[in-house]
A and B are shown apart, each in its own frame.
Chain A
Amino acid sequence: MRAASWLLNRFGVDQALIGDLIEEHRTGRTAPWLWRQTLVAVVKTVTINARHHYWLGLRAMVIGWTIHALVVRGRRPAMLLMSSWSWKVDLWLRRTLSIYLPTSFMLVEALGAVLIGWTIARLHRPYEFSMVSLFVASLLVFDAAGFVNSFQRGLSTMGPLGLAINSVFPFLIVPIAIFCGACLPDGSHSHAGEMP
């Protein structure tokens, strides 16, 4: 219940609805029932916020994509700075686990994702998680478009395991990093009412 309640609070779901879900869960509803209800409540809240505050949604996407473009531009210099140690990690991974992973690239992308999440969340209170979700959705659509091409190229250069990890990266690790960034405190906001 704690995790579901945390998620519902973070996404700004109606407090009365959260109360209803707690009440139902305490009267014997199962954990799968609660999680199904939680996910639908979150999706509905994001949809309603996007519909009611579409200018904020548009602004969140413009901000997110601008930072993303800056991260892409700064990626090469940042990777060069890390190259003194990152090649050793890459080599170790290749020799011991037989997988190719561009660690410096992944690190820059993950840090960039955290920065994007933090910035969008900071500028879109109290709808931060809804706005971050909209940006993540647009990013996933963009990534999916290029996936087939990179899949074909990746299979020959990275091998199946490396490709699997690289495939998971934009669709799982980057979104998680963006939401982690959105959870980072900015010193001016606190969430009310975490509960049992």
Chain B
Amino acid sequence: MSREALGNFELMVLLAILRVGEDAYGVPIGRELEESSGKDVLLGSVYAALERLEAKGLISSRIGDPTPERGGRAKKYFKLTAKGLRDVRDTQRTLVRLWRGLPELRGEPA
């Protein structure tokens, strides 16, 4: 795992990007996070996390075409880099190892 560990929200954003796939821009990423967590998501916070992840080299972005339904604004599409994917796998491995064999967490509904 990289020296700088992923924050909880950053990890959620990375997983949301992976789940959305090719069409991963702000709106579907936010919707995915809302559906998964059951909480209202602030797009400003999502973009702040995306900006941090891009600075860490875990995601890359490309600008799409401007569309009228967005007031002439272009969409910004995000995808994980190889480093990002590696970090998500490492984090998953670490979390699963930590999770395993904890009696306090047994019998809880998934």
Contact = CB atoms under 8 A, between A and B. Distances in A.
Interface string B39-72: 0101111011001000000000001001101111
A22 B44 contact: no
Given A41-B47, A43-B44, A23 B70 contact: yes
Contacts of B27: 20, 23-24
Given A17-B43, A36-B42, A22 B73 contact: yes
A165 interface: no
A40 B44 CA distance: 6
A22 B70 contact: yes
A61 B88 CA distance: 41
Contacts of A16: 25-26, 47, 63, 73-76
B84 interface: no
A33 B30 CA distance: 13
Contacts of A13: 44
Interface string A162-180: 0000000000000000000
Nearest to A16: B76
B44 A195 contact: no
B73 A40 contact: no
21 contacts: A5-B71, A13-B44, A16-B73, A17-B47, A18-B71, A19-B67, A19-B73, A20-B30, A20-B43, A20-B70, A22-B69, A22-B71, A22-B73, A36-B42, A40-B43, A40-B45, A41-B43, A43-B44, A193-B71, A195-B71, A196-B71
Interface of A: 5, 13-24, 26, 33, 36-37, 40-45, 47-48, 193, 195-196
